[in-house]
């Protein structure tokens, strides 16, 4: 299995590409889809519920406040890019790799 692709933006913030699977029975990282990390969530894709659940899940997984996790692109779609402040790209990659099934 390959490692997830994690970038660093101009401000030095780690940026993660994810593919969200809303309304899933189990919640968590389910694998990789290309370079994207596939994350299953209980929340439905209605009124931003899945986005809120994604931010909550990643902040808990990474040990950072919810305010440090922001969606850069993909607010309305399943493919999203998230900036996670407070971690280097290498630290984030280690966290994601440990959470992979």
Domain CATH code at residue 90 = 3.30.1200.10
pLDDT tens-digit series, residues 40-78: 999 999 999 999 999 999 999 999 999 999 999 999 999
Domain that holds residue 25: 6-99
Angle at 60 between CA 68 and CA 22, to 5 degrees: 95
62 in helix, strand or coil? Answer: helix
Does 36 map to a domain?
yes
Across the range 4-9, mean pLDDT stands at: 88
Does 1 map to a domain?
no
Nearest alpha-carbon partner for 62 in 23, 33, 90: 90
Structural domains of the chain, count: 1
pLDDT tens-digit series, residues 22-41: 999 999 999 999 989 999 99
Q: What is the mean pLDDT of the chain?
A: 94
**Which pLDDT score, from 0 to 100, does residue 3 have?**
75
Does 94 map to a domain?
yes
Does 39 map to a domain?
yes
């Amino acid at each position: 299995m390959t490692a997830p692709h994690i970038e660093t933006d101009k401000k030095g913030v780690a940026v993660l590409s994810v593919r969200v699977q809303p309304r899933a029975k189990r919640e968590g990282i389910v694998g990789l889809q290309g370079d994207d990390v596939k994350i299953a969530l209980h929340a439905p894709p209605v009124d931003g519920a899945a986005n809120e659940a994604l931010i909550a899940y990643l902040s808990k997984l990474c040990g950072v406040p919810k305010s440090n996790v922001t969606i850069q692109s993909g607010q309305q779609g399943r493919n999203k890019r998230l900036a996670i402040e407070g971690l280097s790209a290498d630290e984030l990659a280690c966290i994601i790799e440990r959470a992979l099934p």
